[in-house]
Amino acid sequence: MSCEVVLAINPGSTSTKIGIFNRKGKVFVKSIDHSGTKIADMHSIRDQLPMRLKIINEVCDNVLNEHKLVAIVGRGGLLGPIKSGIYSVNEDIMDITINCRYASHASNLGASLAFNLAEKYKVPSYIVDPVTVDEMIPEARISGIPEIERRSRLHALNINACVRKAAQKLGKEVSELKFVIAHMGGGISVAAIDKGRIIDCNDALMGMGPFSPERAGAVPLEGLIDLAQTMSSKELKIKLTKNSGVKSYLGTSNMKDVSKMIRNGDKKATAICDAMTYQIGKEIGAMATTLMGDVDAIIYTGGIAYEDITIEKIHQRVKFIADKIVFPGENELESLAEGGFRAIDKLQEVITYKRTI
């Protein structure tokens, strides 16, 4: 068993990240940059599949020859509202994701990449906790406008992995614990976890919660309506999800650069970061109310969690709720591989997906 490995695949808009992991951790990780290639110019997700497959094969063949591959796990993609868990890749999953029947995103390639490679190596293929995981309680869905329902779109993969690690750290089962967790990267997800279930969260993609390095978060509606008169719907969505937040104020979404600006005495950078941490703290407080204040720990994760000063600024506001646990980094490849081993070792039931859209 020591030579058994899982291949994890995380396709992004300008890269494909691949990782080979054994039960002890990382064996091989590579990020393949597609900037300036034919892939970057392809608007169709489906059209990218053959080229990405070819590149992954070229990178992995020699490495995999030295190990026993037991599973391949791909990033889940946008499947519509779905229960958290490990899913075996089937035709329904591939049809909805590769044809972008729910929404278009590079992560939609994950299931088809995993399935095609798994056929070559004759191993099972899975996806784990896609971003459309939706386990919200009924009252969390009502927006105040009948035509609009609150949606669950969050960093479910890393969030659920961190919940398991936090439970292990506390020496308890996930089913015994309640957490508020903040995943802080280019987008920010803040979620309430009740005994393993994500009962509420901000929509990390658009329109809710704190602003982030790239995204607008919740904004005053009157101003948003006025702004919408000045641009197309597509332009507005791009602005809100890619060109807002810290980036719109400081010209960069790279928080390492922003931290350097702050250390050099940049007062504007300090003010913007203070506002972001203020809003994250408010959202953590809001999520604590969904658990009626019964919170075992506040978990901080994502790339921003490497910044100790930022974590302290946030936690000073919410430490009255619970102690903190910090797991820095996105950890997506590791979380995918972990799911593959849980499936192979029969530690978690594998779900068969049945389409609803």
Q: Are residues 49 and 183 in the same domain?
A: no
Q: Are residues 68 and 129 in the same domain?
A: yes
143 part of a folded domain: no
Query: Is the entire prediction scored with pTM above 0.75?
Result: yes
Instruction: Name the residue among 41, 30, 6 with its Cα closest to residue 20.
Output: 6
Residues 260, 162 share a domain: yes
Radius of gyration over every alpha carbon of the chain, rounded to an integer in angstroms: 20
Per-residue pLDDT of the chain (357 residues; tens, 9 = 90+): 668 999 999 998 778 999 999 999 999 999 998 877 888 777 788 999 999 999 999 999 888 988 999 999 999 889 989 999 999 999 999 999 999 998 888 899 999 999 999 999 999 999 999 988 999 999 999 999 999 999 898 999 999 999 999 999 999 999 999 999 999 998 999 999 999 999 999 998 887 999 999 999 999 999 999 999 999 999 999 999 989 999 999 999 999 899 999 999 999 999 999 999 999 999 999 999 999 999 999 999 999 999 999 999 999 999 999 999 999 998 899 999 999 999 999 999 999 998 877
Cβ-contact 109, 52 below 8 angstroms: yes
Does residue 300 share a domain with residue 168?
yes
Please indicate, yes or no, whether residues 111 and 184 belong to a single structural domain of this protein.
Answer: no
Q: Is residue 150 domain-resident? A: no
Q: What range does the domain containing 174 cover?
A: 156-328
C-beta of residue 253 within 8 angstroms of C-beta of residue 247: yes
Does residue 181 share a domain with residue 128? no
Which of 106, 117, 74, 119 has the alpha carbon at shortest distance from 93?
74
In a domain, 95, yes or no: yes
146 in a structural domain: no
CA 143, distance to chain mean position in Å, is 23
| 149 belongs to a structural domain | no
Same domain, yes or no: 317 and 341? no
Residues 172 and 295 in one domain: yes
Total domain count, the chain: 2
Are 216 and 241 in the same domain? yes
Integer Cα distance of 112 and 233 in angstroms: 30
Same domain, 60 and 12: yes
Residue 339 in domain: yes
Distance CA 309, CA 215 (A): 22
The CATH number linked to 58 is: 3.30.420.40
55 torsion bin: left (phi>0), alpha (psi -120 to 50), beta (else): alpha
Is residue 104 domain-shared with residue 166, that is, in the same domain?
A: no
Please tell me whether residues 98 and 236 are part of one structural domain.
Answer: no
Q: What residues does 86 pair with on adjacent strands?
A: 128, 350
